[in-house]
Amino acid sequence: MTRTKRMLGMAGLVATSALVLGLAGCSGGGTDGGDSGGDVTTIGFVAVGPEGGWREANETNIQDTFTKDAGYDLKYAPATNGDQKSQIDAFTSFVDEGVDVILLSATEASGWEESLERAQEAEIPVILLDRGIEPDDTSLYVTRIAPDNATVAEAVGDWAVENFPDGGKYIVLEGPAGVGVVNERNKGWDQAVEGSKLEKVAAQTANWSTEEGKSVTETLLKSNNNDIDLIFAQNDEMGLGAVQAVEEAGLTPGVDVKIATIDGTKPALEALAAGKLSFVHEYNPLFGDQAVEAVQAALAGDDIDSYVLVPSEAFDSPEAAETALPDRKY
């Protein structure tokens, strides 16, 4: 699906949802908000749970949006230590309970077919938040709401190619293996740097962690005699860990080694403003309103585009970060 089509789908969803809300207000039944006296809509949220600043902002935003005052009973089920089985168990419980809608942020991309088929048989619509599934069978869920990982990572790669016209050696700090986000970010980055003079030295998982980002970077710097020009960290926390490792190696981040990250959390923008990071691309976590619109449309039985694109912006200078920081909510 093209970016244009996704944006058009988003516009169509907003229009559809406005119609759904208008009809609900006239009928006075079904999934009205609590203030109008209608029934409460039960939402099962199969979540990732603690994973860093981005995840906290995203899941808090969802919980703050689907409130009882707005007419929702949100049942929050975070994964146990990122374990997919705990998510599948929670998903199954929600199906058995007969919730109205399930929101799913998958810890792993594969292994969801049976669960999604059960929800479909029970006529419970499923909406993917942030992470996609593999294989991506759009007949098993209503829509996916997220920024475009591949496009975001491609923008980071474009920046890298532009800033290293004569080439340079780089490493990639990846998220956990098997997560769709990791695959999508690798795809976007690889497409951007293909054919450039940049040389990939290593790619290794650091599990979205600042501590592991630091330790992995330390190891890779030592094994390459500090001959690294660029680090692409697939999230902010790993990038901030890389900053620490670069400094402890006696190098200057932003000068000797440029570091680019994805997410756009406040700590990352502060590091960009201080010149320690060189490029930060936002991966906007605040899409609770789009999720509400999707839920309303799904319950009304209306068609929804299979991908609702959440716009995100890039920050390529300390000045850009300083401008954004006062309004950064996460």
Same domain for 171 and 105, yes or no, is no
Residue 96, pLDDT score: 98
Domain presence at residue 322: no
Domain presence at residue 190: yes
One-letter identity of residue 199: E
Closest CA to 72 of 91, 104, 44, 105: 44
Could you give the CA distance from residue 283 to residue 130 in angstroms, rounded to a whole number? 10
Same domain for 202 and 278, yes or no, is yes
Same domain for 92 and 154, yes or no, is no
265 in Cβ contact with 170 (< 8 Å): no
Same domain for 24 and 110, yes or no, is yes
Residue 224, pLDDT score: 97
CATH of residue 76 = 3.40.50.2300
Same domain for 66 and 130, yes or no, is yes
Cα-flanking dihedrals φ and ψ of residue 172, to 5°?
-120, 130
Q: What is the largest CA-CA distance in the chain?
A: 70
Residues whose CB falls within 8 Å of the CB of residue 269, separated by 6 or more in sequence, listed in order: 280, 315, 321, 324, 325, 328
Could you give the CA distance from residue 88 to residue 53 in angstroms, rounded to a whole number? 24
Domain presence at residue 330: no
Domain presence at residue 317: no
Same domain for 90 and 30, yes or no, is yes
Structure tokens at 273: 């403003």
Same domain for 12 and 81, yes or no, is yes
Distance of CA 312 to the CA centre of its chain: 11
Domain presence at residue 254: yes
Q: Which domain holds residue 22?
A: 3-146+285-312
Distance of CA 320 to the CA centre of its chain: 22
Rg (Cα) of the chain, in Å, rounded? 21
Same domain for 124 and 100, yes or no, is yes
45 in Cβ contact with 77 (< 8 Å): yes
What's the domain count of the chain? 2
**Per-residue burial over 159-170, b = 16 or more CB atoms within 10 Å of its CB, e = otherwise:** bbbebbeeebbb
Domain presence at residue 173: yes
Domain presence at residue 260: yes
Could you give the CA distance from residue 209 to residue 215 in angstroms, rounded to a whole number? 10
Could you give the CA distance from residue 174 to residue 188 in angstroms, rounded to a whole number? 13
Same domain for 88 and 171, yes or no, is no
pLDDT means per 10 residues in the chain (330 residues)? Answer: 32 35 32 51 96 93 97 97 95 98 95 97 97 92 97 98 98 92 95 97 96 98 98 98 98 98 97 98 97 96 94 97 95
Same domain for 160 and 232, yes or no, is yes
- Return the bridge partners of 205, or none: 174
Same domain for 134 and 153, yes or no, is no
52: how many CB neighbours lie within 10 A of its CB? 18
pTM: 0.83
Structure-token match 């109205």, residue found: 100
Residue 37 vs residues 23, 72, 121, 299: alpha-carbon distances, Å: 15, 12, 30, 18
Could you give the CA distance from residue 153 to residue 192 in angstroms, rounded to a whole number? 8
Same domain for 70 and 154, yes or no, is no
Residue 82, pLDDT score: 87
Q: Which strand (E) or helix (H) includes residue 155?
A: helix 149-163
Structure tokens at 301: 């039985």
Domain presence at residue 326: no
Could you give the CA distance from residue 153 to residue 172 in angstroms, rounded to a whole number? 12
Residues whose CB falls within 8 Å of the CB of residue 155, separated by 6 or more in sequence, listed in order: 188, 192, 281, 314
Residue 38, pLDDT score: 59
Structure tokens at 25: 């207000």
